[in-house]
Structure 1
Amino acid sequence: MGTRVHYPEEIKWKVIELKQKGFTNHAIMDQLGIKNVYQIKTWMKWHREGRIHRFSQPVGKQYTYGKGPYGLSKVEELRRKNKQL
């Protein structure tokens, strides 16, 4: 099994920009060093659906359905931080 790769938020925005200019997925992968075509498709889906807050999330960090990192109440944020400790 492979290890997860974290791409900086700037790379994700560059992918969106290049796709909107008409570049192919493989050209973008070669240019930016992205290893999997499905990663580009995922970022494009997030962009289309307006879930751009996910661009700044760390690898593997999951939030409850329908809530972004800033959609949690103060109490819920404190519970999660407490659970991590």
Structure 2
Amino acid sequence: MVKKAYSVETKLVCIEMKKAGKSNEVIKETLGIKNDSQIYTWMTWYKKEELHRLHQPVGKQYTYGKGMWQLSEVEQLLEFKFWGTFLKIIIKH
């Protein structure tokens, strides 16, 4: 069995769809997600404000001070603001 890698964009769209009240079945069908547990995991990270975890590769756990989180706090905020705007545009269309 091959693990499926989802892009950060897919994960963020999934979160926005769930926030908009879409069912897991609709989200899975629309985005090609295989399992409900993946949606629950991403939503848990969102609720805990751990969005940096969306960037971690398949099968890798977050290690403090490694990877994308090496960006300055300002750079991280700008990136999340960009993706938030991007998602709002996608959800509207």
In the superposition, the TM-score normalised over structure 2's length comes to 0.67
Q: Equivalent pairs: percent with the same residue? A: 46
Deviation of 1:68 (Å): 5.4
Gaps of at least 5 residues in structure 1 are 72-85
State the alpha-carbon separation in 1 of the partners of residues 17 and 3 from structure 2.
23
RCO (CA 8 Å, sep 6+): is it higher in 1 or 2? Answer: 2
- CA RMSD, 1 decimal: 1.5
**Alpha-carbon spacing, 1:68–1:39, altered in 2? closer, same or farther (3 Å):** farther
Q: Report how many aligned residue pairs link the two structures.
A: 68
Correspondence for 1:20: 19
| Inter-CA distance 47–30: structure 2 relative to 1 (3 Å threshold) | same
Match of 2:7 in 1: 8
Q: Hey, what's the Cα distance between the residues in 2 that align with 1:19 and 1:57?
A: 21
> Which stretches of structure 1, 4 residues or longer, exceed 3 Å deviation after superposition?
none
5+ residue gaps, structure 2: 71-93
TM-score (norm 1): 0.73
Partner of 1:82: none
